[in-house]
Amino acid sequence: MSSVAETPEQKHLLSKTTIGFWLYLMTDCLLFATLFATFAVLRGATAGGPDGAEIYEMPVVLAETIILLTSSFTCGMALLGMMAKNTKQVLWSLVATFLLGLAFVVIEVAEFAKLIAEGHGPQASAFLSAFFTLVGTHGLHVSVGLLWLIIIGVLIWKRGLTSKLTRSLTLFALFWHFLDLIWIFVFTVVYLMGVVV
């Protein structure tokens, strides 16, 4: 990252904010860990309702996974563009990231809406409460990321790559990669292990 921050003060600020944000991500990991632990404990508590294997649509989940992974990759492209001071590459990569992220959220909302319409809402059983909360919290994070992405994108478009915006973009990229990381475990623990057992 040394090519981004020019002066020693900017460098110090970048490392301070990066470490601070990293620590925030660690706290978020533990938030998810709590939800994962709850899910693990309650996954069998279906109260006579459906279990995971009966309600998951695996091809759709695979599509979600690939979409989010690709968006993580395009986000990395934005970061590379930033380091090469290529505003155009940054903006196009961010647009791609946004569209992929939006697609992910839309698919997830549709999945939730369908389950609720079928009577398998979060109230139906402890398993479904844990499922909706874990997956929904991840989705909420992605939505917040999308809002953040719009703001950064518009500002970079208007103002170019100022030192403040490069800092924000660096943090945003960390956040977005982190969400993909969490999704690996949602994908594995909630969905794949759900159809296995």
Candidate list 10, 86, 87, 129; residue touching other proteins; CB under 8 A: 129
Would you count residue 60 as binding other proteins (CB under 8 A)? no
Interface with other proteins in residues 151-180 (CB under 8 A): 151, 164, 168, 174, 177-178, 180
Listed as own residue / partner, the contacts of 39-46 with beta carbons closer than 8 Å and 24 or more positions apart are 39/130, 39/131, 39/134, 39/189, 39/190, 40/189, 42/126, 42/127, 42/129, 42/130, 43/127, 43/130, 43/194, 44/127, 45/125, 45/126, 45/127, 46/125, 46/126, 46/127, 46/128
**97, 78 Cβ separation under 8 angstroms:** yes
Taking CA atoms, 145 is separated from 37, 53, 150, 192, in Å, by 24, 30, 9, 25
Distance (Å, rounded) from C-alpha 190 to C-alpha 197?
11
Would you count residue 45 as binding other proteins (CB under 8 A)? yes
* Beta carbon of residue 84, minimum distance to other proteins (angstroms, whole number): 10
Closer Cβ to other proteins, 27 or 88, answer by number: 27
Closer Cβ to other proteins, 94 or 130, answer by number: 130
Would you count residue 70 as binding other proteins (CB under 8 A)? yes
Strands (E), 9-164: none
Q: What is the DSSP letter of 4?
A: T
Candidate list 111, 115, 127, 142; residue touching other proteins; CB under 8 A: 127
Would you count residue 80 as binding other proteins (CB under 8 A)? yes
Would you count residue 146 as binding other proteins (CB under 8 A)? no
What are the residues binding other proteins (CB under 8 A)? 12, 15-17, 19-20, 22-24, 26-31, 33-38, 40-42, 45-47, 58, 62, 65-66, 69-70, 72-73, 76-77, 79-80, 83, 122-127, 129-130, 132-133, 147, 151, 164, 168, 174, 177-178, 180-181, 184-185, 187-189, 191-193, 195-197
